[in-house]
């Protein structure tokens, strides 16, 4: 794994690659981008767009040289040959980014939406607060930009911030035109809420179920579109790529139908990764079970550039089951989120002695950005030896609480807690990955034909900490921005109907038999818990170099131990299964987070380390992990061998 540092706010130039050795004695190639002086000044987003720019003129010539006939133009219907499907566009993920993109590109070709579980099961569905946008005359794009940059600890890319803050309002209007229903005030205008880090009311919402409402509207439109085919319960395994010199080209995706165990190959002219985040590298997360970092890991294995993985956002207020009058009978798969809007509407944080503590940490108190609030709560819990703190909104009128937070009120009432009368027990939980696959201003990556949008992407918007409700806005903006370049790429690309034979095909591990397979699954689940425990204990809200180094060692040892167990029980390198593939993706993302965290010698935003407790202006640089051909383990390799043009 190669880690380089690149500038985030201006002056950049590339050095020649340098070779170093890691602690295990293996050579690694580090492409290092460093901050230059006044010469060669270019903006990060402009520079990254040029770095990632697709040479479309050469693409059509970069095919495996055979006498096969290529299909040009739009595929008029879903074409299948055995277990291979052919589409113009393949979309991995059915959240807000994937569905919004699919609806646009479907006007120009056939679209496969590949989703891991049910189509509605995504991080979008669990987003409570809303979408940030400048829709009030008293507000301004400049103010939204400033709030975003301050929350992001000045690591945000200014051009990206301007793009999202400027284009966001139009994207919301498009959602409303498609049938999304948001809350309105008595004056008939949209009701705009305020959340931590925002200087104005600018959060468009549907009570405390905004993501669910957006997902409903988008899915209804997708179902009606004859050019969109939704493949549910299809787990994405690996991107299908070829290589021409230094150019990597994406041709689609391998998947496994988790209900039938059939491996399905999708050949496409354009692929969009919109697969969400990696919250389940931690034991407690607000993310649904599908958020296992699959897109980030697949992209990394396919030689895509990864950035800013050390910035893991812990939401300060997830429901603490330990503090409920009636404890849930079963452990939750994901923590229940208590939206930022509760604090935005006047909610106050107390310790268990009902002492308000946030003003002693930050002058913005409960309205401080999430990283500040999460660290403050973490400090309170450690100092006092307690398991949770209390968030109280009961001083507000009952009708206002129930109208603004009906979902939260209902969930708490299930366990004997009336939020109109009692404070809510809360604790931080892993929530959002600010890092991901590095994207340019049109969602492009350094892999030709591969675009990214949503949480899987690192666009530069969030910097070192995401401002509340900016994620849905970013997903909408970049999903739309990726449309035109995707169409352009599709129009000059070719489909080879025998392309399915270019790569070895993964297989389900059915030959192992139920007894062995069940043992492998049980062991994998235990390993998963151990990895999550390591990440929470050593790579949590507060970090140190020694603990990060220990985490790195333990993760590598655990991964190798797990792989040995698999292969000792008959697992083959081409075998794929849901639990095993999720596990290798979790290992990959955990290592990316630790590697990135070790490279940042300052405390900025979500990355706080006791060894470097201050912000260092000279280190105001994104962390960039460049592609490396050194993939020493099964978990780190694409399952198929790349073809060379």
Beta strand 84-92 pairing with 263-273: parallel
Parallel/antiparallel/unpaired status of strands 306-307 and 436-438:
antiparallel
pLDDT, one tens digit per residue, over 12-28 is 222 222 222 232 233 33
Picking from 315, 599, 279, the residue whose alpha carbon sits closest to that of residue 456 is 279
Q: Above 50 in pLDDT, residue 97? A: yes
Give the closest residue to 152 by CA, choosing from 376, 474, 367, 466.
Answer: 466
Q: Give ∠ CA 336-338-341 in degrees, rounded to 5.
A: 150
pLDDT above 90 (res 55): no
d(CA 141, CA 466): 17
The Cα-based distances of 154 to 96, 311, 373, 466 in angstroms read: 27, 13, 18, 11
Strand 84-92 with 33-35, pairing: unpaired
Is the model's pLDDT at 69 over the cut of 60?
Answer: no
Which CATH number do you get for residue 362?
3.90.700.10
Counting the structural domains of the chain, the total is: 2
DSSP state of 385: T
**172: buried, middle or exposed (CB in 10 Å: 19+, 13-18, 0-12)?**
buried
- Whether 421 and 518 map to the same domain: the answer is no
Answer yes or no: is pLDDT of 190 > 60: yes
Taking the C-alpha atoms of 14, 312, 632 and 526 in order, what is their torsion angle to the nearest 10 degrees? 180
- Phi and psi at 28, nearest 5°, equal -135, 145
632 assigned to some structural domain = yes
Per-residue pLDDT at 72 = 31
Domain assignment of residue 461, yes or no:
no
Residues 364/330, Cβ–Cβ less than 8 Å: no
Q: What is the pLDDT of residue 497?
A: 77
Does some domain include residue 550? yes
Q: Tens digits of per-residue pLDDT, 328-354?
A: 988 888 899 998 889 989 999 999 999
- Residue for token pair 């579109």: 225
So what's the pLDDT on residue 28?
35
pLDDT at residue 41 above 70? Answer: no
| Domain closes at, from 375, 396, 427 | 427
> Two tokens at 298?
């697949």
Q: Is residue 432 part of a domain?
A: no
Among the three residues 427, 450, 467, which one is the final residue of a domain in this structure? Answer: 427
pLDDT at 61 over 80: no
- Quote the pLDDT of residue 535: 98
Instruction: For residues 250 and 245, give the distance between their C-alpha atoms in angstroms, rounded to a whole number.
Output: 14
pLDDT tier for residue 58 given thresholds of 50, 70 and 90: very low
Of 40 and 235, the structure prediction assigns the larger pLDDT to 235
What CA–CA distance (Å, rounded) separates 112 from 86? Answer: 9
In order, the DSSP letters of 43-77 are -HHHHHHHHH---HHHHTT-S--SSPPEEES---S
Task: Please say whether the beta carbons of 103 and 482 come within 8 A.
Answer: no
Whether 247 is in a domain gets the answer no
Q: Which member of 370, 466, 543, 584 is catalytic?
A: 370
The answer to the question of residue 121 being in a domain is no
Phi, psi at 479, each rounded to 5°: -60, -40
Cα-Cα end-to-end distance for the chain: 25
Residue 176 has pLDDT above 50, yes or no: yes
pLDDT category, 127, cuts 50, 70, 90? Answer: low
- CA 57 – CA 166 distance, rounded (Å): 32
Given a cut of 50, is residue 499 above it in pLDDT?
yes
Domain, as residue range, for 348? 315-427
DSSP string, 288-330: -TT-S-HHHHHHHHTT--EE-TT-EEEEEEEE-GGGSSS--SS
Question: What CA–CA distance (Å, rounded) separates 18 from 303?
Answer: 18
* pLDDT grade for 629, boundaries at 50, 70 and 90: low
Contact assessment for residue 315 and residue 126, using Cβ atoms and an 8 Å cutoff:
no
Average pLDDT, the chain: 86
Judged by average pLDDT, the poorest of 62-76, 92-106, 265-279 is 62-76
The pLDDT value given to residue 60 = 31
Residues 6+ apart with CB under 8 A from 443: 272, 451, 452, 453, 457, 459, 478, 479, 481, 482, 485
Q: Are 302 and 238 in contact (CB under 8 A)?
A: yes
**Tokens matching residue 268:** 């496409």
Strand partners, 494: 72
What's the pLDDT at 124? 63
Is 370 one of the catalytic residues?
yes
Residue among 346, 364, 348 at smallest CA distance from 356: 348
Judge if 519 and 635 occupy the same domain: yes
Name the nearest CA neighbour of 253 among 387, 451, 427, 477: 451
Query: What are phi and psi for residue 280, nearest 5 degrees?
Result: -85, 15
419/531 same-domain check: no
More confident site: 379 or 502: 379
SS3 letters for 447-514? EECEEECCCCEECCCCCCCCCCCHHHHHHHHHHHHCHHHHHHHHHCCEEECCHHHHCCCCECCHHHHH
Tokens of 259: 């209900």
The reply to whether 327 falls in a domain is yes
| Mean pLDDT (whole number) for 377-387 | 95
Q: Same domain for 519 and 421?
A: no
Task: Measure the CA–CA gap between 559 and 591, rounded to whole angstroms.
Answer: 10
Which of 411, 427, 443 is a domain's end point? 427
Rounded alpha-carbon distances, angstroms, from residue 104 to 86, 163, 174, 227: 19, 19, 12, 11
Mean pLDDT of 473-480: 97
For the residues of 563-604, what is the DSSP string, one character each? HHHHHHTT--TTB--HHHHHHHHHHHHHHHHHHHHHH--S-B
pLDDT at 40 over 80: no
Check whether residue 422 and residue 319 sit in a common domain: yes
Which phi and psi angles does 541 have, rounded to 5°? Answer: -70, -40
Torsion angle in degrees (nearest 10) through CA of 358, 361, 366, 369: -150
Q: Do the domain assignments include residue 241?
A: no
How far apart (Å, rounded) are the C-alpha atoms in residues 106 and 487?
10
In this prediction, residue 639 has a pLDDT band, given cuts at 50, 70 and 90, of: confident
The pLDDT value given to residue 479 = 97
Identify the CATH number of the domain in which residue 519 sits: 1.20.58.100
Asked if 458 contacts 441 with a C-beta cutoff of 8 angstroms, the reply is no
């Amino acid at each position: 794994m190669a880690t380089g540092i690149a500038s985030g706010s201006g002056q950049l130039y590339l050095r020649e690659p340098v070779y170093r050795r890691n602690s295990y004695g293996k050579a690694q190639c580090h492409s290092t981008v460093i901050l230059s002086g006044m010469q060669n000044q270019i903006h990060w987003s402009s520079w990254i767009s040029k770095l990632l720019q697709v040479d479309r003129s050469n693409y059509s010539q970069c095919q495996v040289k055979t006498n096969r006939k290529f299909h040009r133009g739009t595929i008029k219907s879903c074409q299948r040959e055995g277990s291979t499907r052919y589409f113009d566009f393949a979309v991995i993920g059915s959240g807000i980014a994937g569905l919004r993109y699919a609806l646009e590109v479907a006007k120009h070709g056939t679209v496969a939406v590949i989703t891991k579980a049910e189509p509605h099961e995504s991080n979008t569905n669990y987003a409570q607060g809303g979408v940030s946008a400048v829709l009030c005359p008293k507000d301004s794009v400049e103010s939204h930009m400033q709030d975003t940059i301050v929350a992001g600890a000045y690591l945000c890319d200014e051009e990206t911030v301007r793009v999202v803050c400027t284009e966001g309002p139009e994207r919301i209007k498009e959602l409303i035109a498609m049938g999304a229903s948001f809350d309105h005030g008595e004056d008939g205008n949209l009701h705009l809420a305020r959340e931590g880090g925002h200087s104005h009311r600018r959060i468009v919402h549907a009570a405390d179920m905004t993501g669910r409402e957006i997902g409903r509207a988008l899915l209804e439109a997708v179902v009606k579109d004859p050019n969109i085919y939704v493949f549910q319960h299809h787990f994405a395994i690996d991107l299908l790529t070829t290589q021409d010199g230094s150019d990597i080209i994406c041709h689609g995706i391998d998947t496994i139908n988790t209900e039938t165990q059939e491996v399905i190959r999708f050949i496409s002219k354009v692929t969009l990764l919109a697969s969400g985040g990696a919250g389940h590298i931690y034991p407690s997360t607000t993310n649904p079970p599908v958020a296992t970092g699959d897109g980030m890991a697949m992209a990394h294995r396919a030689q895509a550039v990864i950035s800013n993985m050390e910035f893991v956002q812990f939401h300060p207020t997830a429901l603490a089951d330990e503090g409920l009058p009636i404890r849930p009978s079963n452990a939750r798969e994901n923590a229940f989120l208590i939206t930022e809007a509760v604090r935005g509407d006047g909610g106050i944080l107390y310790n268990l002695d009902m002492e308000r503590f946030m003003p002693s940490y930050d002058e913005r108190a409960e309205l401080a950005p999430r990283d500040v609030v999460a660290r403050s709560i973490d400090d309170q819990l450690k100092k006092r030896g307690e398991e949770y703190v209390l968030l109280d909104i009961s001083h507000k009128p009952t009708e206002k609480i129930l109208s603004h937070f009906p979902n939260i009120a209902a969930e708490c009432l299930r366990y004997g807690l009336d939020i109109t009368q009692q404070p809510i027990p809360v604790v931080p939980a892993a929530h959002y990955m600010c890092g991901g696959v590095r994207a340019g201003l049109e969602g492009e990556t350094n892999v030709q034909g591969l675009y990214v949008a949503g949480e899987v992407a690192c666009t530069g918007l969030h910097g070192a900490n995401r401002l509340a409700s900016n994620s849905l806005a970013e997903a909408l903006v970049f999903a739309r921005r990726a449309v035109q370049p995707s169409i352009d790429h599709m129009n000059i690309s070719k489909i080879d109907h025998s392309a399915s034979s270019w790569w070895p095909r993964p297989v389900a591990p059915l030959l192992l038999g139920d007894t062995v397979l069940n043992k492998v699954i049980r062991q994998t689940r235990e390993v998963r818990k151990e990895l999550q425990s390591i990440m929470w204990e050593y790579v949590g809200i507060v970090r140190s170099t020694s603990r990060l180094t220990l985490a790195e060692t333990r993760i590598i040892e655990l991964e190798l131990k797990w792989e040995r167990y698999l292969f000792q029980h008959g697992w083959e390198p081409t075998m794929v299964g849901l639990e095993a593939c999720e596990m290798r993706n979790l290992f990959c993302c955990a290592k990316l987070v630790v590697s990135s965290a070790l490279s940042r010698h300052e405390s900025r935003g979500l990355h706080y380390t006791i060894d470097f407790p201050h912000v260092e202006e000279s280190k105001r640089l994104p962390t960039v992990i460049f592609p490396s051909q050194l993939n020493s383990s099964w978990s780190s390799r694409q399952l198929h061998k790349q073809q060379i043009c």
